[in-house]
Amino acid sequence: MDAEVAGPDGEVSNAKLILFGGATALEGSQRPDGNAPASPGPASGTGIRLAGATSDVHILDVRTGRWERMQPQGEPPSPRAAHAAAAVGSMVVVQGGIGPAGLASEDLHVLDFTDFDRPRWHRVMVQGPGPSARYAHTLALVANRFLVAMGGNDGKATLSDAWALDTSDKPYQWSKIMDAGETPTARMYATAAARSDGLLLLCGGRDAEGTPLGDAYGLARHRDGRWEWAAAPGVMPTSRYQHGAVFVGARLHISGGAVGGGRMVDDAAATVVLDTAAGLWCTQSRASGAEGAEEWTRSRCRHAVAAVGSYVFIYGGLRGSTLLDDFLLADDSSGTELTICDPRSPAWRQWLDTAHGTGAAAAMLAEAAAEEAAAAAALGVRRVGAVEDLQCLDEELEVGNERMARTQLYHRAVVVAQEATGTLRGLVRQLSIDQFENESRRVSMGTDSVGKAQRTPLFERNVSEPGVHKLVLRELLVPRHWKPSEDRKFFLDAEQINDLCEAVERIFREEPSVLRLRAPVKLFGDLHGQFGDLMRLFEEYGTPSTAGDITYIDYLFLGDYVDRGAHSLETICLLLALKIEFPRSIHLIRGNHEAADINALFGFRLECIERLGDPNGIWAWTRINAMFNWLPLAASIEDRILCMHGGIGRSINRIEQIDALQRPLTMEDGGVVLMDLLWSDPTTNDGVEGVQPSPRGPGLVTFGPDRVKEFCKNNNLQMIVRAHECVMDGFERFAQGHLITLFSATNYCGTANNAGAILVLGRDLVMVPKLIHPLPPNEPRTPKSMGSGDEIDEEPPTPHPVTDTWMQVINEERPPTPPRGRPSKDAPNLAFFE
């Protein structure tokens, strides 16, 4: 009773649920609503009294339905029930509760499963004030970043406060969520569940007078740091407390609960659903005659509930004066009818395979586990391969009558260097920008309802429509687990690629030629089909998913998604799928290789033929290039930073010139403005001014620092960020820092030995460069535990050549432009198409 099922945790075939603590015996009044005494302690007065509580830890293997008791190392929390807990990646965080001796402390306890065979308890030090000692409160992880504690009882009164702890910000400290919007009343024994996009639902509970509540409130954090409460539409069909609640997609499943006076919710109303996408309360039918269906409809309170993928799990609780130890499971993958199954029966595996196909259900369970764990913030344990957000002081600049943050490059860069040998991986360093001279060269390749209520904006954060992009995201947005296919066959066919292009083209048609974006933004340079580098950047510095950081930061890609590398199809298809899934947060602009006459020569056309067959490959290649003609051409961030692929060249003096270009647009239609925008480069150094001929070939130019400064002044800009050129450190400054070149692919074409970088622009307009170094030749990417820092016991993926033979031939016949700052040994005309 009152135990906590938290999870999931584990790898692809190893999803786990964690059960901690709870009451093991009762004495005093045998009331099924479990009313706790007004002053908790050994002498309880009226109501139920805890005669036994535990701090045991049990693990459920979801695949087998077997429980195992574990004895973690370290000092465990005191025995307790009515506590709150949340899963944070490979950890479970426990806070508060009540035991036979009274209230538990307000300390945070972390159960760390980094090494699953040797779990360990940690006590986390949190600075400053926070939620006081309490029981019957809630704790939830919002968007795998913020721990939010709400309500409960401190032994004196029922509480209405809410606190948030940012797990990515050290030192850890609670911040009180100030009243904003329609704030909930004081309550205890409520539930809190977070939707995948960061919307938290506080539901039901018991108020200070002991009255059951049937309302629900949403809590969301805006990108500017504000928290906002909003009342959910309608009311719960039966008010209740001590119930369970968990999200499956956009549906909040609510099970069981008490209604006061020693009574529980009627069996007929035991399970209700709040569809947050439709804004309606409803009941959900259950498959008739299914094993366990009758037990699922019987009410209980103080039970534990969790979801893994589309599966809802219930354990234990209280029915009348009986403590339960049963374990129930329902599948909600259809969204209309629950299918019930007993996970401890011999038919568990057979049922899974029958319902979802052989092995498919296990993969679904594990996929959800991997996604949530991969992007979770690590609390109380050092993260290797990720760095906490750097805290930068705002510097302000007087502009007219306004005061605003001055755009600047942070004085240190974050570097992840992959080691070639041994078990050390993801070594994190911070290097001074002022001393950052081709640091990548130092790390050589050898070392590496009724009464319609109006929905509030919070409840309009809905998931995208189904489509091919969902398949792409499932297959490719797996940074820790992706590896190249052995037979090079692409998993989409030409018709599916066409569907993807049709869907994303509709979005591009509605966007201007120059995007207007707000900070924070994460910027990516050239990728050139090096999909493994994109996965490494997502792995190390955040993934664009609802389990990652997409709720809090936009992603901007600066072009050149295809050619040169061996996985252009993966790269462009994933970016298009992300754009469809998150159209307001993922932004793509055009590069010079997003043109048919160029990518016909530099690998993309050949890759489409090789991997899709002929003529399907040619048809898909043509369709993708038609979509390229609709890509936006530039992006302005906060009206202070202009982002483009190439540069301003000789012809671009005002942003309006770019805005005036009407899409769809071919290179011929765009004229000299489009040519300069996609092809021009800065001059070799700050000492070379004006407009000069480009070594890339006839008709192309370079532009000096004087042009950059004049352009920024005329357009009230502070900086230009562009891509287009390989630079040794992944980023390089020009024009005294008014222009930055960004390149995200490492060891370009297998010969440059350059680092790859992204720029993370915060709300304070401070840019932090974050780097990865090239992997040693033929070394496979070995998955590692995100958010924990330790290796996992997993067979490494099969080594795969960096490029295929045909790609090596192309890169030899048409050598890339040498990295910026290096003299070219090849004929310059060959670099024209680069």
687 shares a domain with 566: yes
Residues 589 and 559 sit within 8 Å (Cβ to Cβ): yes
317 shares a domain with 420: no
CATH code for position 730: 3.60.21.10
Tell me the average pLDDT across 716-726.
96
700: left (phi over 0), alpha (psi -120 to 50) or beta: beta
Q: How far is residue 93's CA from residue 123's CA, in Å, rounded to a whole number?
A: 10
Higher confidence at residue 542 or residue 812? 542
Does residue 189 surpass a pLDDT of 80?
A: yes
- Digit-coded pLDDT (tens) for 545-592: 877 888 889 999 999 999 999 999 999 999 999 999 999 999 999 999
Q: At 438, list the tokens.
A: 């081709």
Report how many domains make up the chain. 2
Q: How far is residue 124's CA from residue 406's CA, in Å, rounded to a whole number?
A: 36
* Among candidate residues 742, 766, 768, the one with its CA nearest the CA of residue 755: 742
- Determine the pLDDT at residue 450: 37
715 shares a domain with 604: yes
Q: Out of 71-85, 444-458, 472-486, which region has the weakest mean confidence (pLDDT)?
A: 444-458
Beta-strand pair 263-264/258-260: antiparallel
* Among candidate residues 816, 798, 799, the one with its CA nearest the CA of residue 807: 816
Maximum mean pLDDT: which of 116-120, 195-199, 560-564: 560-564
* Among candidate residues 252, 379, 342, 370, the one with its CA nearest the CA of residue 10: 370
Q: Which residues pair with 48 in a beta bridge?
A: 28
Residue 769 — very low, low, confident or very high, per pLDDT cuts 50/70/90? very high
Indicate the angle between helix axes 604-612 and 568-581, nearest 10 degrees.
Answer: 90
Tell me whether residue 399 is in a domain. no
Show the domain range for 283: 4-370
- Determine the pLDDT at residue 354: 52
Q: Out of 260-264, 432-436, 733-737, 791-795, which region has the weakest mean confidence (pLDDT)?
A: 791-795
- Determine the pLDDT at residue 791: 33
Annotated catalytic, 593?
yes
Cis peptide before 544 (omega within 30 of 0): no
Q: How far is residue 339's CA from residue 716's CA, in Å, rounded to a whole number?
A: 60
- Determine the pLDDT at residue 724: 94
Tell me the average pLDDT across 328-353.
60
Does residue 532 surpass a pLDDT of 70?
A: yes
Phi, psi (deg, nearest 5) at residue 362: -60, -40
Tell me whether residue 485 is in a domain. yes
Q: Which residues pair with 247 in a beta bridge?
A: 252
530 shares a domain with 578: yes
Tell me whether residue 400 is in a domain. no
Residue 777 — very low, low, confident or very high, per pLDDT cuts 50/70/90? low
Beta-strand pair 634-637/641-643: antiparallel
Residues 783 and 547 sit within 8 Å (Cβ to Cβ): no
DSSP code at position 656: H
Q: Which residues pair with 99 in a beta bridge?
A: 102
284 shares a domain with 411: no
- Determine the pLDDT at residue 805: 67
Does residue 59 surpass a pLDDT of 60?
A: yes
Higher confidence at residue 19 or residue 420? 19
Tell me whether residue 392 is in a domain. no
- Digit-coded pLDDT (tens) for 343-393: 555 445 554 555 444 444 444 444 444 443 433 333 333 222 222 222 222
436 shares a domain with 310: no
Q: How far is residue 602's CA from residue 832's CA, in Å, rounded to a whole number?
A: 12
User: What DSSP string runs through 667-735?
Assistant: HHHHHHHHHHHHH-EE-SSTT--SEEE-TT-TT-EEE-HHHHHHHHHHTT-SEEEE-SS--TTSEEEET
Tell me the average pLDDT across 294-319.
82
Q: Out of 2-16, 46-60, 111-125, 232-246, which region has the weakest mean confidence (pLDDT)?
A: 2-16
- Digit-coded pLDDT (tens) for 121-138: 989 888 889 899 999 999
Residue 633 — very low, low, confident or very high, per pLDDT cuts 50/70/90? very high
Q: Which of 593, 724, 738, 800 is catalytic?
A: 593
Tell me whether residue 401 is in a domain. no
317 shares a domain with 433: no
- Determine the pLDDT at residue 829: 41
Tell me whether residue 575 is in a domain. yes
Beta-strand pair 227-231/216-221: antiparallel
Does residue 788 surpass a pLDDT of 90?
A: no
- Digit-coded pLDDT (tens) for 605-623: 999 999 999 899 999 999 9
**Beta strand ranges found along 311-439 (DSSP E):** 311-319, 322-331, 337-341, 396-399, 402-405, 408-409, 412-417, 427-432
CA 520 to chain centre: 15
- Digit-coded pLDDT (tens) for 216-256: 998 988 877 888 898 888 888 889 999 999 988 888 889 89
Tell me whether residue 457 is in a domain. no
* Among candidate residues 154, 252, 161, 239, the one with its CA nearest the CA of residue 204: 239
Cβ-based neighbour number of residue 316 at 10 Å: 22
Tell me whether residue 250 is in a domain. yes
Q: How far is residue 232's CA from residue 190's CA, in Å, rounded to a whole number?
A: 15
658 shares a domain with 531: yes
329 shares a domain with 437: no
Q: At 682, list the tokens.
A: 């800065």
- Digit-coded pLDDT (tens) for 443-464: 333 334 334 444 456 666 555 6
Higher confidence at residue 772 or residue 435? 772
282 shares a domain with 413: no
In sequence order, which ranges of 132-192 are alpha helices (DSSP H)? none
Does residue 48 surpass a pLDDT of 60?
A: no
- Determine the pLDDT at residue 287: 52
Tell me the average pLDDT across 646-654.
97
Counts for the chain of helices (H) and strands (E), in that order: 15, 48
The average confidence (pLDDT) of the chain is 78
Q: How far is residue 724's CA from residue 676's CA, in Å, rounded to a whole number?
A: 12
Q: Out of 297-301, 348-352, 789-793, which region has the weakest mean confidence (pLDDT)?
A: 789-793
CATH code for position 187: 2.120.10.80
Tell me the average pLDDT across 3-18.
50
354 shares a domain with 486: no
Higher confidence at residue 713 or residue 830? 713
- Determine the pLDDT at residue 792: 32
Cα–Cα separations (whole angstroms), residue 229 to 145, 163, 452: 18, 13, 20
* Among candidate residues 580, 264, 547, 73, the one with its CA nearest the CA of residue 538: 547
* Among candidate residues 728, 775, 724, the one with its CA nearest the CA of residue 754: 728
* Among candidate residues 8, 152, 162, the one with its CA nearest the CA of residue 82: 152
Higher confidence at residue 505 or residue 291? 505
- Determine the pLDDT at residue 587: 98
Q: How far is residue 373's CA from residue 289's CA, in Å, rounded to a whole number?
A: 36
- Determine the pLDDT at residue 292: 55
Q: Out of 129-143, 183-197, 259-273, 367-381, which region has the weakest mean confidence (pLDDT)?
A: 367-381
CA 543 to chain centre: 5
* Proportion of the chain above pLDDT 90, given as a percent: 42
Tell me the average pLDDT across 480-492.
89
Residue 425 — very low, low, confident or very high, per pLDDT cuts 50/70/90? very low
- Determine the pLDDT at residue 778: 59
- Determine the pLDDT at residue 818: 80
344 shares a domain with 260: yes
- Determine the pLDDT at residue 326: 80
Residue 22 — very low, low, confident or very high, per pLDDT cuts 50/70/90? confident
- Determine the pLDDT at residue 460: 60
Higher confidence at residue 267 or residue 187? 187
Q: How far is residue 280's CA from residue 278's CA, in Å, rounded to a whole number?
A: 6
